[in-house]
Chain A
Amino acid sequence: DTAVSQTPKYLVTQMGNDKSIKCEQNLGHDTMYWYKQDSKKFLKIMFSYNNKELIINETVPNRFSPKSPDKAHLNLHINSLELGDSAVYFCASRRTGGAEQYFGPGTRLTVT
């Protein structure tokens, strides 16, 4: 059983397109995150959701819009993709108040 899953694993698309990445966790956690990892491996938090409510939006362009249909899912929609959006995007989850955080396997987005 995969605790945090993401689809797709790879996404290649052209500039200007709109794309979505899906995330699901089966851990019963109520806080979910999106991180962006660039080529230097920095893990940059983008969004934090708690019980389907947005908690953090770390100066992310409004082309990025997270959507949480329920506590187990946090999807990331990206409009008008740019070359600089190329990165690996990780979903993660944590029980609010807990310490351990679990990451998904990542989605490698390549914008050409």
Chain B
Amino acid sequence: QQQVKQSPQSLIVQKGGISIINCAYENTAFDYFPWYQQFPGKGPALLIAIRPDVSEKKEGRFTISFNKSAKQFSLHIMDSQPGDSATYFCAAIQEGSQGNLIFGKGTKLSVKP
């Protein structure tokens, strides 16, 4: 019940293309779903997050789509750039609880020029 499943494990996209990373969760008590971006040699950093009262959240070229009934959420990176090349982690948590963020296993994105 605590798992967050992330796919694909790796992704290669051409510059200007759309990168899509998918995650699925099991625990219906989760109510906060962040995405973290990690560049080589750096710690993961919060990129964008969504709560289940909305189906989509957009910040610049980054969009989270959320499907509560399917218990799935995804990250879309529009107009992907080489500078977006990084590892992306989805996560989930029940906000307000003593629980901890449950992370997906990560997706390594490479954007080719």
Binding site for B on A (CB under 8 A): 4, 33, 40-43, 45, 48, 50, 55-56, 90, 92, 94, 96-106
Contacts and interface: CB of A to CB of B under 8 A. Distances in A.
A106 B42 contact: yes
Contacts of B100: 33, 45, 48, 56
Interface of B: 32, 34, 36, 38, 41-46, 49, 87, 89, 93, 95-98, 100-101, 103, 105-106, 108
A101 B33 CA distance: 12
A105 B98 contact: no
A45 B44 CA distance: 13
B43 A41 contact: no
B77 to A, nearest CB: 18
Contacts of A55: 98
B43 A90 contact: yes
B46 A104 contact: no
Nearest to B89: A43
Contact of B93 (A43, A99, A103, A106): A99
24 contacts: A41-B87, A41-B106, A42-B106, A43-B44, A43-B89, A43-B103, A43-B106, A48-B100, A96-B98, A97-B95, A97-B96, A97-B98, A99-B32, A99-B95, A100-B34, A101-B34, A103-B36, A103-B44, A103-B45, A104-B43, A105-B42, A105-B43, A106-B41, A106-B42
Contacts of B49: 99-100
A90 B103 CA distance: 14
A104 B72 CA distance: 28
B105 A42 contact: yes
Contacts of A105: 42-43
B45 A101 contact: no
Shortest Cβ-Cβ A-B pairs, 8 listed: A103-B43, A99-B32, A99-B95, A41-B106, A97-B96, A43-B103, A103-B44, A105-B43
